[in-house]
Amino acid sequence: MAEVDAKILALQAKIKELKVAKKDASKEVEEMKALKAQQSKEKKEGSGFQLKVPKGTIDHKPAAALLRKKIFASLERIFSKHGGETIDTPVFELKEILAGKYGEDSKLIYDLQDQGGELCSLRYDLTVPFARYVAMNGLTNIKRYHIAKVYRRDQPVMSKGRMREFYQCDFDIAGTYDAMVPDAEILYILCEALDALEIGEYTIKLNHRKILDGIFELAGVPAEKTRMISSAVDKLDKLPWADVKKEMTAEKGLDEAVADRIGQYVGLKGKGREVLNKLQADEALNGVKSAKEGLADMAILFDYLDCFGVTDKMSFDMSLARGLDYYTGIIYEAVTELSAPPVVDDAPAVQDKKEKKGKKADKTVNEDGVDESAVGVGSIAAGGRYDNLVNMFAEAAGSKREKVPCVGVSIGVERVYAILEARRRAQEAKPRSKETDVYIMALGGGLLPERMKFAKKLWDAGIKAEFMYKAKPKAPAQWSQADADQVRFVAILAPNELANGIVRIKEQGVERAAGTDNGEEVSMDKVVEYLRERL
């Protein structure tokens, strides 16, 4: 600070000098103004040092971190039940690995500074590192899950939960198998996951890229416009047909008759096999090779979904198109009826991309992840089959290999978190951030060594226990700590009872008849057993 003061003084002297000499002092005046602005900014910020996290990131505080840990553990349990393996890739990749994978969203990639050596970027999603891993290790098959943070230098919208650092959770099955078998299992895993997370009612919208392509071909869409029209179709969950048709014709230059023929199909949707039966009876559509192939896939898929007992969760929805170009087979998106209010003050992080789409007509949702829109019915997971991505890497690196087809799902864990957090807030006043089951307190004499020995007894039995780090803690302080941490049991040590080998155990928050609220007297020999039975 003193240095800046000195500089300003020097400049003032110089300016005075120049003005006296009737010379141009404008450069010096500008410089002084800049210094003063900097100084006042620094003063406002307190010695130029701000205690904050970078824009678009947050600290997950203990209660939020604990809830996230539970969500992740629940998902990992399901993935490993299906033979899933996890891999842990570096948080940054070589810049060239990410280059050319994300279209216009490439500008959102975080680069590391060139400090000599290789140029690296923070990972943008978990799909590209997965494809790189499979190609690099020459794998022909793997079932892998990966729950980790990804990075996007997007304009953060904290209120909508759009963050620059957020978690993704992907499960993918790579390998050459019989049609629709892994696809059906992925859909079953998705149902298991959404059931286990208890996020409420959900539907899984299903479609097939080859059927969509067949419809476009049948309707007469020129091949080069297919992806563009596909991304217009994908907006039907947000916009009425009239608007989408207008986009197709006025903006994308499609003939009105062609658009109308598309319109006859993309409005179709329904639970179970209803739509499939209708399309299978459509002779014109079955005359198009890709549509016929897609319909054959869907028929097999429904048979398998019947085996897994989840057909009723599915809605065959011809308007589902998914933004990403790399899908080659079935595509799906799970939507929940529950719309999570944004969580602003602690740990938001619903990644919202659709919002942008509405504003910018030709913007596709360029992520394998999830369109976790905060408005209306929420998308909570999405995915599909992508049979060519791994080979893009192998080929780009100059090695010709057999195809490694993949099918995968990305579960919107940030949105799951937001839903569960909102429900928690509606239900209870204060979340628990630690899991302590027993608070050990002394009434009379401090009894620190006795509390320590008792704590060790519980710890060694696997029981979560704490005590106050004071030699002679006051009773009210101990009670209020146990209350603040919402610890279920209080173990009360008192000199007389201890002499008789007795500890009193009181269950907190339980209404009891008068005279019995001092807890139960339990013998020291039996206390571990007593607590274990109740925990």
Residues 64-93 within binding reach of its own copies (CB under 8 A): 64-66, 68-69, 80-93
Is 320 assigned a ligand-binding role in the annotation?
no
Q: Please state, in angstroms and as integers, the Cα–Cα distance from residue 257 to each residue in 40, 260, 263, 469, 501, following that order.
A: 65, 5, 10, 79, 90
What is the nearest approach in angstroms of its own copies to the Cβ of residue 329? 14
Is 35 assigned a ligand-binding role in the annotation?
no
Q: Does 111 bind its own copies (CB under 8 A)?
A: yes
> Quick one: which H or E segment has residue 166?
strand 165-174
Beta bridge pairs of residue 317: 269
User: Residue written as tokens 């009181």?
Assistant: 506
Is 417 assigned a ligand-binding role in the annotation?
no
Q: Does 483 bind its own copies (CB under 8 A)?
A: no
Nearest Cα residue to 156 out of 55, 61, 58: 55
Q: Does 509 bind its own copies (CB under 8 A)?
A: no
Q: Does 401 bind its own copies (CB under 8 A)?
A: no
Q: Does 105 bind its own copies (CB under 8 A)?
A: no
462 or 515: CB nearest its own copies: 462
Q: Does 192 bind its own copies (CB under 8 A)?
A: yes
* Identified binder of its own copies from the candidate list 70, 356, 430, 434, rule CB under 8 A: 434
What is the nearest approach in angstroms of its own copies to the Cβ of residue 365? 23
* Identified binder of its own copies from the candidate list 239, 293, 308, 361, rule CB under 8 A: 308
Q: Does 57 bind its own copies (CB under 8 A)?
A: yes
Chain positions 442 to 471 lying near its own copies, rule: CB under 8 A, are 448-449, 452-453, 456, 459, 462-466, 469-471
What is the nearest approach in angstroms of its own copies to the Cβ of residue 197? 16
Distance separating alpha carbons of residues 504 and 485, to the nearest angstrom: 19
Q: Does 40 bind its own copies (CB under 8 A)?
A: no
55 or 512: CB nearest its own copies: 55
Long-range contacts of 254-260 (CB under 8 A, 24+ apart): 254/221, 254/225, 254/229, 255/220, 257/220, 258/219, 258/220, 258/221, 259/219
Is 326 assigned a ligand-binding role in the annotation?
yes
Distance separating alpha carbons of residues 522 and 405, to the nearest angstrom: 62
Q: Please state, in angstroms and as integers, the Cα–Cα distance from residue 294 to each residue in 212, 231, 276, 285, 414, following that order.
A: 9, 19, 10, 11, 32
Q: Does 124 bind its own copies (CB under 8 A)?
A: no
Q: Does 486 bind its own copies (CB under 8 A)?
A: no
Is 140 assigned a ligand-binding role in the annotation?
no
What is the nearest approach in angstroms of its own copies to the Cβ of residue 235? 30
**Dihedral (CA of 388, 391, 395, 400) sign:** negative
Chain positions 148 to 187 lying near its own copies, rule: CB under 8 A, are 149, 151, 153, 165, 173, 175, 177-178, 181-182, 184-185
What is the identity of the amino acid at 88?
A: D
- Write the DSSP symbol of residue 125: -
User: Residue written as tokens 């003193």?
Assistant: 2
Contact stretch for its own copies (CB under 8 A) within 138-146, 324-332, 360-368, 501-509: 138-146
Enumerate residues 6+ apart whose C-beta is below 8 A from 501. 523, 524, 525
Contact stretch for its own copies (CB under 8 A) within 107-115, 220-228, 353-361, 381-389: 107-115
339 or 433: CB nearest its own copies: 433
What is the nearest approach in angstroms of its own copies to the Cβ of residue 144? 7
Whether the Cβ atoms of residue 406 and residue 455 lie closer than 8 Å to each other: no
Contact stretch for its own copies (CB under 8 A) within 15-23, 44-52, 495-503, 505-513: 44-52
**What's the angle, vertex CA 371, arms to CA 362 and CA 222, rounded to 5?**
35
Whether the Cβ atoms of residue 413 and residue 432 lie closer than 8 Å to each other: no
229 or 411: CB nearest its own copies: 411
Distance separating alpha carbons of residues 405 and 142, to the nearest angstrom: 11
How far is the first Cα of the chain from the last one, in angstroms, to the nearest whole number? 58
Beta strands per DSSP E along 284-350: 314-317, 330-336
Q: Does 94 bind its own copies (CB under 8 A)?
A: yes
Contact stretch for its own copies (CB under 8 A) within 147-155, 283-291, 322-330, 518-526: 147-155
377 or 448: CB nearest its own copies: 448
Burial of 494 (0-12, 13-18, 19+ CB in 10 A): middle
Distance separating alpha carbons of residues 163 and 354, to the nearest angstrom: 14
92 or 202: CB nearest its own copies: 92
Chain positions 7 to 36 lying near its own copies, rule: CB under 8 A, are none
68 or 488: CB nearest its own copies: 68
Is 152 assigned a ligand-binding role in the annotation?
yes
Q: Please state, in angstroms and as integers, the Cα–Cα distance from residue 439 to each residue in 161, 432, 522, 524, 526, following that order.
A: 36, 14, 15, 16, 17
Is 183 assigned a ligand-binding role in the annotation?
no
Is 127 assigned a ligand-binding role in the annotation?
yes
Q: Does 475 bind its own copies (CB under 8 A)?
A: no
48 or 445: CB nearest its own copies: 48
Q: Does 341 bind its own copies (CB under 8 A)?
A: no
Is 145 assigned a ligand-binding role in the annotation?
no
What is the nearest approach in angstroms of its own copies to the Cβ of residue 74? 12
**What's the angle, vertex CA 273, arms to CA 337 and CA 330, rounded to 5?**
75
> Quick one: which H or E segment has residue 375?
none
225 or 464: CB nearest its own copies: 464
Structure tokens at 415: 């949105």
Q: Please state, in angstroms and as integers, the Cα–Cα distance from residue 399 to each residue in 81, 101, 174, 388, following that order.
A: 34, 19, 18, 14
Q: Please state, in angstroms and as integers, the Cα–Cα distance from residue 404 to each residue in 86, 176, 464, following that order.
A: 18, 6, 47
Chain positions 206 to 235 lying near its own copies, rule: CB under 8 A, are none
Distance separating alpha carbons of residues 290 and 406, to the nearest angstrom: 19
Task: Summarize the annotated binding site as residue ranges.
Answer: 125-127, 152, 168, 172, 322, 326-327
Task: Summarize the annotated binding site for L-histidine as residue ranges.
Answer: 125-127, 152, 168, 172, 322, 326-327
